[in-house]
Amino acid sequence: MVDLDRTPSPEFSPWAMGEDFAPLPEYKVATDTVLDFGGLLPAPLKLHEDLSSGCGGQLWPAGMVLAKHLLRYHQKDLQEARILELGAGGGLVGLSVALGSKLQNPLYITDQEEMFALMGHNIELNNLQGRVEARLLNWGEPLSQEIVDFKPDVILAADCVYFEPAFPLLLATLTELLTLCPSTTIYFCFKKRRRADMQFLKKAQKTFHVVEVEDEDRPIFSRQGLFLYTFTKKQ
Ligand X SMILES: C[S@@+](CC[C@H](N)C(=O)[O-])C[C@H]1O[C@@H](n2cnc3c(N)ncnc32)[C@H](O)[C@@H]1O
Exposed, middle or buried, 182 (CB in 10 Å: 0-12/13-18/19+)?
A: exposed
Least Cβ distance, residue 63 to ligand X (angstroms)? 2
Exposed, middle or buried, 187 (CB in 10 Å: 0-12/13-18/19+)?
A: buried
> Is 87 an interacting residue with respect to ligand X (CB under 6 A)?
yes
> What is the x/- site pattern for ligand X, positions 125-164, by CB under 6 A?
-------------xx------------------xxx-x--
DSSP summary character for residue 165 = G
The rounded distance, in Å, linking the Cα atoms of 33 and 6 is 15
Question: With CB under 6 A as the contact rule, which of the stretches 3-11, 31-39, 84-92, 176-184 interacts with ligand X?
Answer: 84-92
> Is 55 an interacting residue with respect to ligand X (CB under 6 A)?
yes
Considering beta carbons, is residue 10 or 168 the nearer one to ligand X? 168
The residue nearest ligand X at its CB is: 56
Considering beta carbons, is residue 93 or 97 the nearer one to ligand X? 93
Please give the order of strands across the beta sheet that includes 185-191.
132-136, 107-111, 83-86, 154-158, 185-191, 226-233, 208-212
The rounded distance, in Å, linking the Cα atoms of 22 and 162 is 6
Considering beta carbons, is residue 60 or 208 the nearer one to ligand X? 60
Look up residue 83 and give its amino acid.
I
Q: Helices 195-207 and 167-180 meet at what angle, rounded to 10? A: 20
Q: How far is CA 234 from CA 53, 172, 173, 180, 182, in A?
A: 37, 16, 16, 14, 9
Task: Pick from 23, 35, 45, 63 the residue near ligand X by CB under 6 A.
Answer: 63
Least Cβ distance, residue 116 to ligand X (angstroms)? 10
> Is 62 an interacting residue with respect to ligand X (CB under 6 A)?
yes
Task: Pick from 70, 71, 78, 88 the residue near ligand X by CB under 6 A.
Answer: 88
Q: Which residues bind ligand X (CB under 6 A)?
A: 54-56, 59-60, 62-63, 87-89, 92-93, 111-112, 115, 138-139, 158-160, 162, 166, 169
Annotated binding site for S-adenosyl-L-methionine: 60, 87-89, 111, 139, 158
